Amino acid sequence: VNDNPSQYRIMLSGTVKSPKISFDPIFLMLMPVPLGMKTETTVNIIPQDYLRQSRIQVELPEFDREDGDRICPFSVQFPNGQDIVVSSDGTNIQLNCHIGFSSSRPVSYLENIFFIDEEGN
């Protein structure tokens, strides 16, 4: 390049990937239990394409009972934390999540539980 007046052109191309999470299992069905007892299962959250650490928040559905009270019979716990971590090789580390359900009254329930990252995805 020093004394050579030639022009150089560099072309760059790339792909933008949006971060996403997937679940194992993808559908959750908790076993019926006696009233007041807790049923619980573990769900694996598999983050993909996160370039920096992010924190997962959970929106749990509420249920209107016949007496007018609103209850949230679901519970969610992250035994190893709720942070999406990027490992040294650039991959994201899987999270474990315990989802539980308990109600003192009979309830049949089909609802969504939303897992949201810090950017609202």
pLDDT, one tens digit per residue, over 81-109 is: 999 998 888 889 999 999 999 988 887 77
Domain that holds residue 40: 33-116
Q: Is residue 21 part of a domain?
A: no
Q: Is residue 13 part of a domain?
A: no
Looking at residue 76, what is its pLDDT?
95
Bridge partners (DSSP) of residue 96 are 44
What ranges make up the beta strands (E) of 1-121? 20-24, 39-48, 54-55, 57-59, 63-64, 70-71, 74-77, 83-84, 95-101, 114-116
Report the candidate in 88, 83, 2, 74 with the shortest Cα–Cα distance to residue 41. 74
Q: Is residue 65 part of a domain?
A: yes
Q: Is residue 6 part of a domain?
A: no
The position carrying tokens 């016949």 is: 66
Q: Is residue 57 part of a domain?
A: yes
Domain count, the chain: 1
Tokens linked to 64 = 């209107």
Looking at residue 1, what is its pLDDT?
52
Q: Is the dihedral of CA 32, 73, 70, 57 positive or negative?
A: negative
What tens digit of pLDDT does each residue of 77-88 get?
999 999 999 888
Q: Is residue 4 part of a domain?
A: no
Q: Is residue 39 part of a domain?
A: yes
* pTM for the predicted model, two decimal places: 0.76
Q: Is residue 14 part of a domain?
A: no
